[in-house]
Amino acid sequence: MKCRSCASALNGLVLDLGFAPPSNAYLSARQLDEPEVYLPLRVRFCSVCKLMQLEDHSDPRRLFTADYAYRSGTARSWLEHVAAFTDSVTARLGLCAKSLVVEIGCNDGHLLRNFAGRGIACLGIEPATEAARAARQYGIDVIEEFFSASLAHELAKQDVLADLVVANNVFAHVPDINDFAAGLSSMIKPEGVVTLEFPHVQNLLRHGQFDTIYHEHFSYLSLTSAGHVLERAGLEVFDVEQLPTHGGSLRVYAQHQGQARKVTPRVRQLLQSEVDAGLMESGTYAQLQARAERIKDDLLTFLLDAKRRGVRVAAYGAAAKGTTLLNFAGVKPDLLPVVYDAAPSKQGKHLPGSHIPVMPPSCLAPGDWDYVLVLPWNLAEEVVQQLGALAENGVAFVVAVPELTVLGYRNS
């Protein structure tokens, strides 16, 4: 395999999580009796352009299928996040009724509906049929395709050029990241802006967030590695924000090279921070394997001990990161009988690999469980607040990443 960013040879294996099914390939009861696809889940590091990346084994059309189950509108914190972003970027760029905002990977449209509510023209690009249908219910115009440089060129020929292109948690999801960046460059007006959000690999390494690695995530980005990709596409990073979402993310602002916006001090400061954190050195990445194995062992010890003692443990949040964790640890329904999730698109199905059934939170009664393992640890506080009745009845909440922790939240 060659680096998907700079085409250099890849020699350094960072992490080997064995074989696993695609993390969002939830199974119906009928599919439990059918063969299941497992793919290698291994990560390598490019010593030239500093991009940590998944080995090439997955076709995105097999991952982001018509019934792709993820929905952005199920987490209150994410809805608040995109609403705040809409406010800030509208003011910063002076967006108005004459502007056009394009969101790549618009999912169910919860971001774009904020812009549409301000009278700003919107266009979504979303390959998953069910998610696109949900966005259209908010009156959003959606192109049901994978974004590419070719699609961007076709839209540009029709004078569909954006003042703002938003791609939240999409940049890491594309196998041909250079083609995607070229499309971004073609999609914006001469003075247009691109904003990208993606988990910061520095936090992944610092906190052992190996469960954020799954087949839908082809790249694990730093500001340094993202900047290299954008620069080759004729784009310049002029600002960056550090965000708490997904365990620590970056929001990158980019423009055509040579435009008037000055590069903020935050860009230079974060680039230096990445150097200081060792993100240019392969040895920093090699430490992730031992960290992942320790987290796996601690979780298994907890679940096995609970089973021996007759302690009842359920899970909450059928998130992709939970699928990575449970499959790496080899957890099955005998140790974790059920996972509850608020997304109707996941309810009544089973987690890939582990085959743990997914049920709605309405079925979660205070007296049924002693512990609830929160799989989306980045939303743990929100989940515990939502399930305050359980805490009041003595149920303890647990997270496994970055280390096994029994949470002391109580509903006040």
Please state, rounded to an integer, the average pLDDT across all residues of the chain. Answer: 93
Query: Do residues 308 and 279 both lie within one domain?
Result: no
Best CA proximity match to 314, nearest among 353, 379, 363, 378: 363
Q: Are 150 and 249 members of one domain?
A: yes
**Residues 113, 204 within the same domain:** yes
Which pLDDT score, from 0 to 100, does residue 229 have? 98
Residue 38 lies inside a defined structural domain of this protein: no
Examine the domain organization and report whether 251 and 383 are in the same domain. no
Q: 251 and 311: one domain?
A: no
pLDDT digits (tens, 9 = 90+) for 58-99: 666 665 555 544 445 557 888 999 999 999 999 999 999 999
Same domain, 300 and 278: no
Query: What's the confidence (pLDDT) of residue 322?
Result: 96
Q: Is the whole-model pTM more than 0.85? A: yes
pLDDT of residue 60: 61
What is the band of 12 on the pLDDT scale with cuts at 50, 70, 90?
Answer: confident
Per-residue pLDDT at 408 exceeds 90: no
Domain of residue 268, CATH code: 3.40.50.150
Question: Alpha helices, DSSP H only, in 46-148?
Answer: 60-63, 76-93, 112-116, 129-136
pLDDT for residue 65:
55
Tens-place pLDDT, residues 270-280: 999 999 999 99
Q: How high is the pLDDT of residue 392?
A: 87
Question: 313 and 253, same structural domain?
Answer: no
| Contact indicator for 360, 341 with CB cutoff of 8 Å | yes
* Host domain of residue 308: 296-407
The C-alpha atoms of residue 301 and residue 40 are separated, in whole angstroms, by: 25
Distance CA 221, CA 210 (A): 14
Strands (E), 182-270: 188-199, 219-220, 235-243, 249-256
**How far apart, in Å, are the Cα atoms of 88 and each of 40, 84, 111, 151, 254?**
41, 6, 13, 29, 16
DSSP classification of residue 344: T
Q: Is the distance from CB of 42 to CB of 13 less than 8 angstroms?
A: yes
> How large is the average pLDDT for residues 37-47?
95
Domain stop point among 228, 256, 286: 286
- Where is the domain boundary, 223, 254, 286? 286
Residue 36, domain member (yes or no):
no
Going by C-alpha positions, the residue among 216, 196, 215, 225 that lies closest to residue 285 is 225
Domain match, 159 and 226 both: yes
Among the candidates 259, 286, 313, a domain finishes at 286
Domain assignment of residue 40, yes or no: no
Domain total of the chain: 2
Together in a domain, 180 and 87: yes
E strands within 257-395?
313-316, 339-340, 358-359, 371-374
Per-residue pLDDT reduced to its tens digit, 133-155: 999 999 999 999 999 999 999 99
Instruction: Answer whether residue 20 shows pLDDT above 70.
Output: yes
Section 22-34 average pLDDT: 94
Question: What pLDDT does residue 410 have?
Answer: 40
The DSSP symbol for 82 reads H
Instruction: Indicate whether 355 and 274 sit together in one domain.
Output: no
CATH number of residue 305's parent domain? 3.40.50.720
Element (H, E) at 40: strand 39-45
